[in-house]
A and B are shown apart, each in its own frame.
Chain A
């Protein structure tokens, strides 16, 4: 059963150094396909580091790998991922007349993927 969580998109220094080399390389793809999640949430969902989860919004979905963060660093119910091709899949185009799409604090469904193939 999917759970609702709040996804924050942002930058990281690793993403910043990697994009200087290439946005088409394996390293950038790996960084932008990782989602940080509270370790207690992960335990409850039966997830461990590198487990796959499906994130879904009304406009799209993406499959990412989990990385655990302690509660003092990332509160329960909050997710963080760096901007990239997969975060784009989750963003709606509506800007409420501002020009700015919402890319922080998105409501997302989180669904563990039990089959490691991701199928």
Chain B
């Protein structure tokens, strides 16, 4: 530990969508690292510990060290020449940076998509079709006496979702904390989250929709055949017991994960859960919240929605925003080989996209912004090293319940922020194009 130490109180962890804003950080300013993160979970401790300043070039062009300015020029040239460029990622950066990324997409007539499309994108589609009965995590903490986790493993992915908001904390109308709540976990396998539940319901893989639809029927007083157990692994008795609890609680919440969205049925699964939530509101108060993964993926949904009217997968090639999952979403654009350049911000698709999509990323010029070296930065033509949001950079992020939180950085980075790099790229692209690129045949008036 160096001599120059400071404590940052109530800092924010941006590892996951819980965005816990009660971190007390001890910062070694001499060595530019965080030595202690009080209140952090195991993931948060690793997040703060592992984001010290690394000795990396400011940028790489074709794998060779370069200045940020040279890399901005190279990136702008790629984007200005591209005919169907993709801008992707954005879930681990500030809303301020996200806003600039959308502006670039608009300017170059490209597509802007976020990690939502491979996360809760199907839930976003379901929201549009079914609607959303929602609440803040604070309301859930203070009111929910029946908590149902469906298709997720918060103990490993969002540890403080249990301890800060939904299982153990005492709330205004939940004075005894855990004792006042009934916790149900629905999943295809036992996980470290299972011991937190009073009731564990193990469903067969690919049968979430059937279980949710049977619950809808039972809530409405319809008959369900006992053969439901053979199809889903869940007996009618268990379903009836759950329905009785759901109809008689004071405030119920579904916290649902990607066991629904990454599975057969996708948005139909999320839609079934949201429809069940609506049904239950005829009897008592129920809400449903998707449990979000990255620290500002919810901000990405908000920013892209403010600016385009749609949450993800938005294309500007006609000069106005169009939303069409499957057409303008990243996996599709890459798997079909349509994108001819990609700007990847704070994301690592080369580590988790389908094989065919990664193969296309290897064929096109890729620009990356990331504090760390990743499989995606390794395949990039232009790779910027950027400062870490929340640790080196202030700004705004959105918690998974759409509550905005201002970041309190711990120490300065020698690297620029994502927002600074994107702003420089935007300005240079604008100069190269002479303004927004307009599609052929656009009305003349639009150019003025």
A binding-site residues for B, Cβ under 8 Å: 6, 8-13, 16-18, 20-24, 59-60, 72-75, 78, 80, 83-85, 87-105
Cross-chain contact A101 with B118 (CB below 8 angstroms) = yes
A103 to B259, CA, bound (A): 10
> A95 CA to B353 CA in the complex, in Å?
12
Does the CB pair A99–B372 fall under 8 Å? no
Interface contact A93-B355, CB-CB below 8 Å: yes
Which residues of the partner chain B approach A73 to less than 8 Å between Cβ atoms?
A: 189-190
Asked if B332 and A99 make an inter-chain contact with CB atoms under 8 angstroms apart, the answer reads: yes
Q: A59-B355, A84-B352, A100-B266 are in contact. List 16 more A-B contacts (CB 8 A).
A: A13-B192, A20-B51, A24-B378, A73-B189, A75-B189, A83-B352, A85-B350, A88-B352, A88-B353, A89-B355, A93-B334, A95-B332, A97-B326, A100-B262, A100-B325, A102-B263
Which of A94, A97, A99 gathers the greatest number of chain B CB atoms within 10 Å? A99
| Segment touching A, from B25-33, B153-161, B242-250, B278-286 | B153-161
Closest Cβ of chain B to A83, distance in Å, is: 5
Q: Which of B46, B153, B190, B267 contacts A20 (CB 8 A)?
A: B46
A100 in contact with B117 given A13-B42, A105-B206 (CB within 8 Å): yes
Complex-state Cα separation, A59 to B335, whole angstroms: 12
In-complex Cβ contact of B325 among A6, A99, A102 (8 A): A99
A12 (CB) vs chain B CBs: closest residue? B156
Q: Please state if B372 and A23 are interface contacts (CB–CB under 8 Å).
A: yes
B213 lies within 8 A of chain A by Cβ: no
A16 touches B43 (CB 8 A): yes
Cα A8 to Cα B262 in complex, Å, equals 10
Q: What A residues does B118 contact at CB under 8 A? A: 99-101
Residues of B within 8 A of A18 (CB): 46
Instruction: Output the least CB separation between B15 and chain A (Å).
Output: 7
- The chain B residue sitting closest to A71, CB to CB, is B190
The docked-state distance in angstroms from the alpha carbon of A21 to that of B375 is 14
Q: Contact check, A98 vs B326: say whether CB atoms are below 8 A apart.
A: yes
Chain B residues near A88: list those with CB within 8 A.
Answer: 351-355, 358
Q: Tell me which residues across on chain A come within 8 A of B403, comparing CB atoms.
A: none
B43 near A17: Cβ-Cβ < 8 Å: yes
- In the bound complex, how far is the Cα of B351 from the Cα of A87, in angstroms? 9
Q: Are B43 and A78 in contact (CB under 8 A)?
A: no
Task: Say whether, besides A93-B354, A93-B355, A98 and B122 are in contact (CB < 8 Å).
Answer: yes
Most A Cβ at <10 Å: residue of B312, B327, B351, B378: B351
Q: Are B46 and A98 in contact (CB under 8 A)?
A: no
Interface residues of B in 353-375 (CB under 8 A from A): 353-358, 372-375
State A12–B121 Cα separation when bound (angstroms).
21
The chain A residue with its CB closest to the CB of B207 is A105
Interface size class of chain B, counting residues whose CB lies under 8 Å from the partner chain: 35 or more
Point out the residues of chain A lying under 8 angstroms from B266, CB to CB: 96, 98, 100
Chain B interface residues toward A at CB < 8 A = 15, 42-43, 45-47, 49-51, 113, 117-118, 121-122, 125, 153, 155-157, 159, 188-190, 192, 202, 205-206, 258-259, 261-264, 266-267, 293, 312-313, 325-327, 329-332, 334-336, 348, 350-358, 372-375, 378
**6 CB-based A-B contacts, threshold 8 Å:** A78-B188, A88-B355, A93-B355, A99-B113, A99-B326, A103-B262
Evaluate contact between A13 and B49: CB separation under 8 angstroms: no
Which among B356, B372, B378 is the interface contact of A59 at CB below 8 angstroms? B356
In the complex, are the beta carbons of B264 and A84 less than 8 A apart?
A: no
A102 and B46 form a contact (CB under 8 A): no
Q: Which residues of the other chain, A, contact B351 by a CB distance below 8 angstroms?
A: 23, 83-85, 88
Residues of B within 8 A of A103 (CB): 262
- CB proximity of B338 to chain A, nearest CB, Å: 12
Q: How far is the CB of A49 from chain B (nearest CB, A)?
A: 18
B375 near A23 with CB under 8 A, answer: yes
Residues of A within 8 A of B206 (CB): 105
| Closest A residue to B360 using CB positions | A93
A74 proximity list for chain B (CB < 8 A) = 189-190
